[in-house]
């Protein structure tokens, strides 16, 4: 079945450019890889999961720390992480905001930091950035298991990431009212799960190229969601709100590329619907879409690219922001193009930081 699915998936990607095809194939194979398959693990041990970043992630004046966190439950598990602290951070007495950045498949913490250039942005704005890193032991392609039932309920990797956040808060004086979750692809799905299972901890969430929450229970089901969305996208949110009627508002900025062949734009529409329901859509006033041109023209693209933003607000406070970027595939917009999964476009990091700066969690 896996061979048949691979053939079907890869044939559907032929319309994309050669570079995008190659990248897409890696992501799809990564999702299907089974961590316990000995042959796959051996192959992965011979070749690095992703190339070393060509950009030095320590070029800012802040501090770049590498460490790990061991789960408090049995069986014990260790998760490595990278932490960026801006130059203004001076220990536990300092109160600074924190962004939890969750990478996608075929990436590690250093790749993600270098590709998004978020450390440089965080230094300028005074943010700390935590990069949890999925291990090769947990998945041979470093994919987060966002489709796993235990994970969706706040266990597994989510529980360990929450423990990690607690460790960082205690050691570095993080402002508890300004902790944000953000990610791309599988990492975006994890950011949403983190926010929905720990709303008292996360002040706002940012999802770049993320799939619909709570409607898949396997890797095969995950692929179906990524390609087609779900006919019951709102059901998990309805269940959550029934179980937790006092669930607080959860601001969200959602970014997608209109040419994404891996997590297709239908997911963006349905994830937007999930957050609208979660934030009591009846009380949110939709704004007219704002379309902005960017980039340069060429023979291939005689017109400039566009970014369309749609806001949903309660009074003057924007709670849900949906961003569609024309001609962007499955890649971080505005990232370092010399690294995989990054492409030209409006700077997604700047868009997310600007959104996060307007939201705090009441303690």
Beta strand 78-85 with 63-70: parallel, antiparallel or unpaired? Answer: antiparallel
CA distance 206 to 226: 18
Residue 268: closest CA among 216, 313, 311, 209: 209
**Residue 232 neighbours by CB distance under 10 Å:** 12
Output the CA torsion 60→176→277→223 (10° steps). 50
Structure token digits, residue 115 = 């590709």
CATH class of 2-356: alpha beta
Is 263 exposed, middle or buried (CB count within 10 Å of its CB: 0-12, 13-18, 19+)?
buried
Q: What is the pLDDT along the chain (363 residues), one digit of tens a residue?
A: 434 433 443 344 333 334 444 554 555 555 555 444 333 232 223 333 344 444 455 456 889 999 999 998 878 889 999 999 999 776 665 689 999 999 999 999 999 999 999 999 999 999 999 999 999 999 999 999 999 999 999 999 999 999 999 999 999 989 999 999 999 999 999 999 999 999 999 999 999 999 999 998 898 999 999 999 999 999 999 999 999 999 999 999 999 999 999 999 999 999 999 999 999 998 899 999 999 988 776 666 656 789 999 999 999 999 999 999 999 999 999 999 999 999 999 999 999 999 999 999 987
Q: What was the pLDDT predicted at 90?
A: 66
Q: What was the pLDDT predicted at 18?
A: 42
pTM of the entire predicted model:
0.84
Q: What was the pLDDT predicted at 299?
A: 66
Parse the chain into domains and list their residue ranges. 2-356
Residue with tokens 């940012």: 206
């Amino acid at each position: 079945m896996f061979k048949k699915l691979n053939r079907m998936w890869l044939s559907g990607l032929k319309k994309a450019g050669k570079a995008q095809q190659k990248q897409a194939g890696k992501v799809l194979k990564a999702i299907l890889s089974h961590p316990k398959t000995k042959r796959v693990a051996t192959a992965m041990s011979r070749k690095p999961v992703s190339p070393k970043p060509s950009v030095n992630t320590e070029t800012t004046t802040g501090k770049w720390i590498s460490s790990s966190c061991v789960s408090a439950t049995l069986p014990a598990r260790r998760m490595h992480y990278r932490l960026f602290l801006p130059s203004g951070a001076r220990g536990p007495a300092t109160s600074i905001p924190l962004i939890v950045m969750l990478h996608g498949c075929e990436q590690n913490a250093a790749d993600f930091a270098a590709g998004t250039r978020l450390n440089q942005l965080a230094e300028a704005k005074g943010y700390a950035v935590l990069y949890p890193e999925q291990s090769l032991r947990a998945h041979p392609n470093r994919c987060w298991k966002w489709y796993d039932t235990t994970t969706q309920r706040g266990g597994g990797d989510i529980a360990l990431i929450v423990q990690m956040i607690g460790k960082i808060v205690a050691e570095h004086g993080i402002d508890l009212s300004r902790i944000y979750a953000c990610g791309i692809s599988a990492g975006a799905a994890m950011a949403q799960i983190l926010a929905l299972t720990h709303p008292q901890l996360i002040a706002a969430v940012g999802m770049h190229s993320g799939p619909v929450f709570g409607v898949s229970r396997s890797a095969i089901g995950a692929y179906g969601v990524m390609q087609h969305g779900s006919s019951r996208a709102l059901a998990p949110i309805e269940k959550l709100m029934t179980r937790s009627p006092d669930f607080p508002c959860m601001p969200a900025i959602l970014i997608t590329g209109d040419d994404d062949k891996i997590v297709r734009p239908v997911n963006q529409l349905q994830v937007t619907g999930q957050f609208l329901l979660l934030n009591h859509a009846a009380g949110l006033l939709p704004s007219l879409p704002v379309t902005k041109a960017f980039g340069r023209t060429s023979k291939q693209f005689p017109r400039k690219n566009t970014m369309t933003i749609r806001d949903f607000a309660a009074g003057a406070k924007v709670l849900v922001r949906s961003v569609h970027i024309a001609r962007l595939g499955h890649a971080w917009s505005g990232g370092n193009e010399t690294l995989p999964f990054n492409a030209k476009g409006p700077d997604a990091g700047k868009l997310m930081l600007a959104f996060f700066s307007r939201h705090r969690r009441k303690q």
